[in-house]
Amino acid sequence: MAIQWYPGHMTSAKKKAEETMEFTDMVIEVLDARVPEASHNPMIDEMRLHRQRPNLKILNKADLADPVATQAWLNYFNKQPNTKAVALSCKKVGDAKKIPNLCLGLASHRGSHLKPLRIMIMGIPNVGKSTLMNALLNRRVAKVGDEPAVTKSQQRFDLSETMSIIDTPGMMWPKIAYESDGYMLAASHAIGRNAVIDEDVALFLAANLLKTYPDLLNTRYKIDTMKRDGKLIDIKQMDAVDLLEAIAKRRSYKRHNGLWDMEKTAMAFLTDYRHGTIGKISLETPESRQTMIDKMADEIAAAEEEKLMNEKRIQAMHREQSIAAKVANDAAD
């Protein structure tokens, strides 16, 4: 199931963002440190590169992400032109207070009384933009919620006499190109629940973590102390369904009919990931991302090759039928 989520108000949010960017000097893009590239909205680059705006990429929720993967992403982003990337937690006021100086470093020609620095903060829903705004201003000015797309309109605030910032609504893009991106975003709660099936998302997450963080899963859910058919379970032999079933058994999530409550289990598992209860986890690295893209390219190329071969076979069949028909007509004459 390919996940797509583009609420109606985001079309107007995009248009308003394009208008506002004409009168700003730089862009802060807030990303989820656990899924930095999946949580990057390609439309933001289209808008800012066209207007040559420098970009500060904030890998927020770094306290929930794998620090090794986060460092790899910082190295990756910091190689991009006119870009600076930092990892932090917007819930930590001390982290947020570093941002104004980082912005001045990217737009050194601004930041005076004659030329105030005008900043625009952007990102997809639920990556922490509102939390960042509240930390920067040291007061609650933006509504914060557990559901995506809480902010619905732009707000402008002064950080100082020489610096202002515009908070924008979370903005998705119309079509998520890679299926795994949709699942990573849904697992990280950047997509509204009305667009997903929690059990499908939990199965995707389980399969990912069984490959990348089996030890963390073992520690959290004590899988290696459970038995199946009288033998201790080896987590390395489990698939996604096995893991969710084991969690359901561990927590005694049963329905009235005696079956395991997989819906409740899925939500509990997703909540554990989202809150960092399982551990510091990243769902993608620059290397895994490139591997995924290469695999998709190979699959597309193979599909195109098969399509071309089928077209050639059909054309050959039509030629044979035409020849046979002509022979038959000649014989009848």
Report the CATH number at residue 247.
1.10.1580.10
In a domain, 266, yes or no: yes
Same domain, 153 and 85: yes
Q: Which two tokens stand for residue 221?
A: 């859910």
Residue 33 belongs to domain with CATH number: 3.40.50.300
Query: Looking at the 3D structure of the chain, how many domains does it have?
Result: 2
pLDDT digits (tens, 9 = 90+) for 4-32: 776 767 778 888 888 889 999 999 999 99
Write down which residue in 234, 257, 274 finishes a domain.
274
Tell me which DSSP letter residue 283 carries: S
Write down which residue in 237, 259, 274 finishes a domain.
274
pLDDT digits (tens, 9 = 90+) for 123-179: 998 898 888 888 888 877 755 555 544 555 788 888 889 999 998 888 888 889 899
Position 252 scores a pLDDT of 92
DSSP string of 216-233? HHHHHH-GGG-EETTEE-
Same domain, 108 and 239: no
pLDDT band at 51 (very low <50, low <70, confident <90, very high): confident
| Rounded CA separation 178/165 (Å) | 32
Same domain, 143 and 74: yes
| Rounded CA separation 56/101 (Å) | 11
- Between residues 325 and 66, which one has the greater pLDDT? 66
Same domain, 27 and 136: yes
In a domain, 156, yes or no: yes
Same domain, 208 and 137: no
Whether 280 shows a pLDDT value over 90: the answer reads yes
Same domain, 147 and 214: no
pLDDT digits (tens, 9 = 90+) for 83-110: 999 999 988 878 888 999 999 999 888 8
Same domain, 95 and 204: no
pLDDT digits (tens, 9 = 90+) for 221-244: 999 888 887 888 889 899 999 999
Position 149 scores a pLDDT of 47
Write down which residue in 229, 255, 274 finishes a domain.
274
- Residues 6+ positions from 304 with CB-CB distance below 8 Å: none
Give the global pTM.
Answer: 0.84
In a domain, 300, yes or no: no
In a domain, 73, yes or no: yes
Same domain, 61 and 127: yes
By C-alpha distance, which of 238, 188, 181 is closest to 211?
238
Instruction: Give the three-state DSSP class for 79.
Output: coil
Average pLDDT taken over every residue of the chain: 88
Tell me which DSSP letter residue 57 carries: E
pLDDT band at 36 (very low <50, low <70, confident <90, very high): very high
pLDDT band at 187 (very low <50, low <70, confident <90, very high): very high
Whether 42 shows a pLDDT value over 60: the answer reads yes
Same domain, 30 and 160: yes
pLDDT band at 1 (very low <50, low <70, confident <90, very high): low
Same domain, 28 and 152: yes
Q: Domain of 144?
A: 9-167
In a domain, 308, yes or no: no
Same domain, 13 and 161: yes
In a domain, 326, yes or no: no
Are 38 and 283 in contact by the 8 Å Cβ rule? The answer is yes
Q: Which amino acid is at 199?
A: E
End-to-end alpha carbon distance in the chain: 58
Instruction: Give the three-state DSSP class for 254.
Output: strand
| Rounded CA separation 202/273 (Å) | 10
Same domain, 147 and 211: no
In a domain, 78, yes or no: yes
Are 155 and 166 in contact by the 8 Å Cβ rule? The answer is yes
Mean pLDDT of the region 198-216: 96
In a domain, 149, yes or no: yes
| Rounded CA separation 35/285 (Å) | 8
Position 118 scores a pLDDT of 94
Mean pLDDT of the region 181-187: 94
